[in-house]
Amino acid sequence: MHDGTHWNFHCRASIGIFHFIKRKKKFSELHEDWEKDYGTQRFKYKDLYFATNGFKEKELLGTGGFGRVYKGVMPNSKLEVAVKRVSHESRQGMKEFVAEIVSIGRLRHRNLVPLLGYCRRKNELLLVYDYMANGSLDKYLHKHNKGQRLFTLNWSQRFRIIKGVASGLFYLHEEWEQVVVHRDIKASNVLLDSELNGRLGDFGLSRLYDHGTDPQTTHVVGTLGYLAPEHTRTGKATTSSDVYSFGAFLLEVVCGKRPIEQIRECESVILVDYVYDCWKRGDIVEAKDVNLGVDYIVEEVELVLKLGLLCSHCEALARPSMRQVLRYLERDLALPDLSFLSLSSMGLTSGQCENFQDFGMSYASSSMDRPFSHTSSIAESLLSGGR
């Protein structure tokens, strides 16, 4: 009897040790010496696991090309967060990558989603953001799940969101201590707070460099339809390539259409081409979202559509800076005449880029970094090659 009790005790002890090791392994993380400096911005994986109920499907907020985002409530503080799980292809460059993420955590602007910190586990990086109550903008522009939008945003709401995102981008490009190139501007990365203010989020692909210096060449990242042509050629992500993505975003918000929409199996509509055609026909406002109804200001809709075309120019030097974009949106600066624009196999172009200074526009020089282009030839070649 004594032997049996002794055996049961050892058996239970062994099972306990096994479960302890298994649990410890389950919540294991990667820690390296250089991360000690980031202590306050590093989250425990265990806390994020319990906050999201084990990353259960019911907590899933959205899925993108670079990860899945879950809603969470932190166990102790009860703070609502959004947790993005990002796979990092290799440990090479991880130190620099995390250093940039931590730097981005110091950004403070009313139109940016605060990045609270990160967690590293195996080959996975988890980014922790403030939770935005009304989710991503794209759910209000495009049909989802059961073929419905959440609800239609009116024009004043859309225009306020556009100006808010422009203000946030200007802060990233010019007002912060370093230049921050976002590299993935699109409606699904713009989140709406409880008052439907637009906040640019998802800085997992962002890159930083010092003012007055050239950005380094990186591999091409971003989303098809929003990538500037020069970024796909050079691999350089710059403020000018961000402006290109912002141009695609402007058209997306006003038109309620994605930059590239597949209408049939072998047929797609390129949004910038469609808006350009409406402009050439003398009725650019025709391109607006049919769900806007009649309650909108024609001059504002026209302004944003024309600005979307201007930002979508295939020549980086022909695009305005975000400082100028803000001045256009606030009507402090008149838009240049768009008659120089033409549509070629390269997308929106013109033969007089060298004369653009005559329009009172000072263009960002060689700071161009962007995701994939929504211009005709690039979009079509990418689509024909299969996505």
- 353 and 214 in a single domain? The answer is yes
CATH number at residue 65: 3.30.200.20
How far, in Å, CA of 341 to CA of 348, rounded?
6
Answer whether residue 377 shows pLDDT above 50. Answer: no
State the angle between helix axes of 271-280 and 239-255 in degrees (0 to 180), rounded to the nearest 10: 70
Residue at 33 is within a domain: no
**Coil, strand or helix: which one is 18?**
helix
pLDDT of 96 above 70: yes
Q: Which residue has the higher pLDDT, 132 or 63?
A: 132
Query: CA–CA separation, 66 vs 88, rounded Å?
Result: 9
- Is the pLDDT confidence value at 13 over 70? no
Instruction: Identify the domain boundary among 112, 131, 150.
Output: 131
For residues 312 and 17, give the distance between their C-alpha atoms in angstroms, rounded to a whole number: 61
> Going by C-beta distance under 8 Å and a sequence separation of 6 or more, which residues neighbour residue 74?
47, 51, 81
Indicate the length of the chain as a whole number: 387
pLDDT tens per residue across span 202-211: 876 788 878 8
Q: What percent of the chain has pLDDT over 90?
A: 47
Q: Is the pLDDT of residue 47 over 90?
A: yes
Q: Say if residue 353's pLDDT is above 60.
A: no
> In this structure, are 126 and 144 located in the same domain?
no
Same domain, 216 and 355: yes
* Together in a domain, 245 and 115: no
CATH of the domain at 323: 1.10.510.10
Residue for token pair 């600066």 = 333
Q: 13 lies in a domain?
A: no
Residue located via tokens 């402006």 = 243
Catalytic residues: 184
Q: Model confidence at 143, in pLDDT bands (50, 70, 90)?
A: confident
Q: Which pTM was predicted?
A: 0.79
Mean predicted confidence (pLDDT) in 255-267 = 85
Q: Would 9 be classed as within a structural domain?
A: no
Q: Is the pLDDT of residue 1 over 80?
A: no
My answer on whether 222 and 370 are in the same domain is: yes
Tell whether 26 is covered by a domain: no
Residue ending a domain, choose from 102, 131, 160: 131
Whole domain around residue 309: which residue ranges? 138-384
Query: So what's the pLDDT on residue 236?
Result: 84
Domain boundary residue among 131, 148, 164?
A: 131
Q: Is residue 319 a contact partner of residue 310, using CB atoms and an 8 Å limit?
A: yes
Asked whether residue 189 carries a pLDDT value surpassing 70, the answer given is yes
Mean pLDDT: which of 136-145, 302-311, 346-355, 365-374 is highest? 302-311
**Residue 355 within any structural domain of the chain:** yes
Q: Are residues 210 and 259 in the same domain?
A: yes
